[in-house]
Amino acid sequence: MKTLLRTNLLKLVIIGLIIALALMIFDYRWSLGFMLGFLFSFITVKRTEAQVDSILFYQKKGILLYLSFILGNLIYVIPFVISLVLSNYFNIIFVAFGLLFFKYYIFVTEIFFRKKENE
């Protein structure tokens, strides 16, 4: 995952911006909601990456590490709260799409990688 995100980070950002601009045609709240989720998805991916590294590579273990992992996932709540409070500016459905953007990208990339690998 780390290699995938490092090598394709610019492509991810460009695709995300193109999607946000395309959504702007329909409704600015869709675009802003997607961008809010997209921003927070960067944060959660980087946080998860750091936590996985500390567990797998540095062999750090303990209840505090696992609690911070669980509490760190509460970051997902922040953009939803923002979109609820500022519902005139952010569409909550597109916040969810923005949050899932990296997961979808990794999923689709993995499908094509395995397909290419099996040929």
pLDDT (tens digit per residue) in 81-102 = 999 999 899 999 999 999 998 8
Name the pLDDT band for 60 (thresholds 50, 70, 90). Answer: low
Total-model pTM: 0.78
Indicate the Cα dihedral angle 10, 12, 13, 17, nearest 10°: 140
Q: Could you tell me the end-to-end alpha-carbon distance of the chain, in angstroms, rounded to an integer?
A: 22
Angle (CA) 77-49-86 rounded to 5° is 20
Tell me the average pLDDT across 55-83.
79
